[in-house]
Structure 1
């Protein structure tokens, strides 16, 4: 299980990005819907293992979490059908998909 925590904003963005309802994410993470809802609204900070379970559930459906690097933390979706990462120097019209 991931030991890195996510913010409520990252959770909301990730869930929206993959089209999961709060109920479906709560089910996948094996947490209560109230716990998830309260976390996303910033009403409470669940136990770290609960947040980790939410993160793992989102990662399992293609979400990548971006750590705060001075520009703010965020999320992105994995490319479907390809996990290949191309460096900026190698980017060209042939591999631009």
Structure 2
């Protein structure tokens, strides 16, 4: 699972707007607003969170830690300048 903070951080890391993330993941814009407003793991359909994670990972984001232990994001080595 990924946390709301990881979603916000990954979007910021890639400099994606919510609209861009919605297009790339297939998740609705209003759903993204709701998901980003939670603390911790958002209550959502697992497929929705998987679609977001997949879109980020395809863009080079790595999810690190666990929701309970230092959750974070970073760019994969292959995407660093």
Q: Which TM-score bucket, shorter chain as reference?
A: 0.7 to 0.9
**What CA RMSD, in Å, does the superposition of the two structures yield over aligned residues?**
2.4
Structure with bigger helix share is 2
Q: TM-score, normalised by structure 2?
A: 0.84
Q: 1:60 to 1:34 in 2, by over 3 A?
A: same
2:10 corresponds to 1:14: yes
Which has the larger Rg? 1
Which of 40, 61, 64 is the matching residue for 2:62? 64
The alignment covers a number of residue pairs equal to 79
Deviation at 1:67, TM superposition (A): 2.1
Structure 2 unpaired stretches of 5+: none
What TM-score, normalized by structure 1, do the two folds share? 0.71
Q: Which moved more, 1:42-51 or 1:7-16?
A: 42-51
Greater length-normalized contact order (CA 8 Å, ≥ 6 residues apart): 2
Answer 1 or 2: which has greater strand percent.
2
Q: Point out 4+ residue stretches in structure 1 off by more than 6 angstroms.
A: none
